[in-house]
Structure 1
Amino acid sequence: MVSLPEELEAREAAARRRVEELRADTAELALRLEAAQEVLSRLEITRETVTKVLAELSAAQADSEADVPVEPAQKPHPHGAGVVMVPPGREGLAATVLPDVYRDIMEVLADAPGPLQAKQIVPRIGLAATAGKIEGTRAKLKRLVERGWLTEDAPGRFTLVRRRTLGIDPPDLQ
């Protein structure tokens, strides 16, 4: 039969081993956390730098586009990976010059009986109604407002500026 002091010593030794294992795990996790934080920091800095550079390039591109008319059949080419060019909307310029997702947004708004919010547009263009997709679409809507394709009559409610001159005709006007 095992005595009580021997049993306590055995349990104490097992607990001591478990504490040492957890300390080793904690040290390893601390190293992994530090490495992951370093990667995150570098990615944040890179994203901020790229965003700044692309914004400067877009501003320069917009200035040069104001001087050179864009033909309706001509699609602008992006100047960087993942950059979508949205030319300024003007009389006679068809929505066909817009990238696909922007054209989809324009078509949804053309079919709508009135102003729509981003959260109403997202499912209609085939995206999941998640916060990220709604915010991304809201940014695109704001860009279309800035470039003169849409108006925001009330905060967060978007409509087309001109249906016929932008090359988007609702089904009942075709």
Structure 2
Amino acid sequence: MWAERDELVVAERVLERVSEQLADERASAAPVPGQVGGRAVMLVPHRAPEEAMLPPGYQRILVAVRQAAGPVMAQMRAGLEPLRAKLVRLVDRGWLRRLPDGRFTTRL
């Protein structure tokens, strides 16, 4: 009876440690907010196997580029410059490819 209780205590400790390790691994894989000019910004990770690591707005951009009939272009209009900056950021991190004519497409 005491042996079973001791085994249960050890099993609970192991489970707790493994749970903490998994939580730490998930936290390190998640996008990390940063500070730029006193404003909170979401850092875009370099290309990884899982798009889930990207913030939701960037995930939506990737889906839209994938669903487009061909390469897409961010029009130079008021309000679209933030979109263009996000597209360029996705190119810099290896998620998208920028063509010489300025249009964007998925990586092959």
The TM tier, using the shorter chain, reads 0.5 to 0.7
Structure 1: give runs of 5+ residues left out of the alignment.
Answer: 1-69, 120-129, 163-174
- Of structures 1 and 2, the larger Rg is shown by 1
Out of 82, 95, 104, the residue aligned to residue 51 of structure 2 is 95
Partner of 1:76: 31
Structure 1 segments (4+ residues) deviating >6 Å? none
Q: Tell me, in whole angstroms, the C-alpha distance in 2 between the residues paired with 1:105 and 1:161.
A: 14
Percent of matched pairs sharing the same residue: 37
Q: Tell me, in whole angstroms, the C-alpha distance in 1 between the residues paired with 2:54 and 2:65.
A: 14
Q: Which has the higher strand share?
A: 2
Normalised TM-score (structure 2):
0.63
Q: How many residues align?
A: 80
Partner of 1:144: 90
Q: Which has the higher helix share?
A: 1
Residue 106 (1) aligns with residue 62 (2): yes
**RMSD across aligned C-alpha pairs, in angstroms?**
2.3
Structure 2: give runs of 5+ residues left out of the alignment.
Answer: 1-24
**Once the two structures are superposed, what CA deviation does each residue of 1:111-155 show, in whole Å capped at 9, x if it has no partner?**
112100113xxxxxxxxxx83321111111111111100001233
Decide whether the 8 Å contact of 2:96 with 2:105 is kept in 1. yes
